[in-house]
Every structure is written in structure tokens, then in C-alpha cells.
Structure 1
Amino acid sequence: MPEEHVIRALAALAQSHRLRIFRLLVVAGLDGLTPGALAEALGLPAATLSFHLKELSNAGLLSQERLGRNLVYRADFAQMNSLLAYLSENCCQGQDCLQPKPLDCGC
């Protein structure tokens, strides 16, 4: 994934409403959600939701499909996986990653 796409995707997700929208769409899977269902779940006005959906779409994180009279939005899992792969590409310098040690809380 080109760096400019990574920056655009991370910038789009760096806003609380957009992050919540994207996470809901990931949970919805391939069924996706309509704007009405998203607005109801998040308590967002239609205009606000529309703005955030446009930003996520422009970042390549969402797909949109018209089904009859409804629009259905879905997370673009290929883009999400490309972003995650980019972020972890050189994880631990090619060595097996170690699990973080639990914090010693003194219990």
C-alpha cells in the first residue's frame, strides 16, 4: 500500500465518529449497514453521518452499493488488511514477536 494511501486512511480514522462508523461496519461484515441504521446506532444526524461516510469513502476504507432504494455501506476489508499489513510489515525486525509481559501490579 502506498504511503500516501496509508496517511489518508489513518487520517480518516483519527476522528471519533469515523472510527466508530468504521468499527460498526467491520462488525456488520459483508452485510453492511444502511445510513439509517448507522445514524440510529450512533445517534448522528444524517448530514453529519453523510460527511463522515464521504471522508471514509475518499480514504478507500468503505464501499457503497445501491440495493433498490437503499445505499449499503461496507468496510473495505482488502484495504483494511493492506493498512494493517503496512503497519506491521517490519514488525520485530523479522523475528517472532514477543508477547508483552504482564504488568506487575503488586497484587
Structure 2
Amino acid sequence: MYLIHAQLAVRHGETLPAALPEKICSQDVEPASVEYVVLHDEVPGVPVLGLFVAAADLGAAERAAELACLRVLAAAPSPAAWTVVRCEAGFVAEFYEWRIGDP
């Protein structure tokens, strides 16, 4: 199981497609599967999805997550309003480097 984050970009004035997490979970992305999706929409205009993906390896998980997002956004009422900025298992090295140097 991998946690993949997908950052979306939206054209000004557009809203998220209804039931976005559920729609993404319902996508067939064999051989992987999207098990659960959490929407983080605290920052206006910069929604981030946390996708829990069952896959053989990290690369397959990232591809499956991106494919599921792209399919759902393409079927949205205003598909041109949405883009996937990035879809990856992120690692914030700066935070951990700072913590390592903290006495």
C-alpha cells in the first residue's frame, strides 16, 4: 500500500467535481487499485488528494493514482478547468534535514 499525493490546479471560479474521492476510488486501474482517497481542500484553489493505492511497487502506484485522477477530471462538467500538477509519493527532505541538526 502506497500513499500518493495528487496536487490539482483549478481555473479561477471552478469548483471540485461532486463526490471526487468516491469517483476516483471507483476507477479500474488494474493491476493496482485505489483503496481510499482523502481530499485536502484547505487552501483555496489548490486541492490535494491523498490516495492510498495497492500496487506492486511505487512506480505502479503513482501511475495508477494519476490515471484514476485524470479519468475522473476528464469526465467532469468542465474538464479543461482542471489539471494534475503532480502525482507522487512526496518526501520533504528539508524538514527531516532540519530535524537531524536539531539538538
TM-score by length of 2: 0.31
- Counting helix residues as a fraction of each chain, which structure ranks higher? 1
Higher relative contact order (CA 8 A, sep 6+): 2
- Counting strand residues as a fraction of each chain, which structure ranks higher? 2
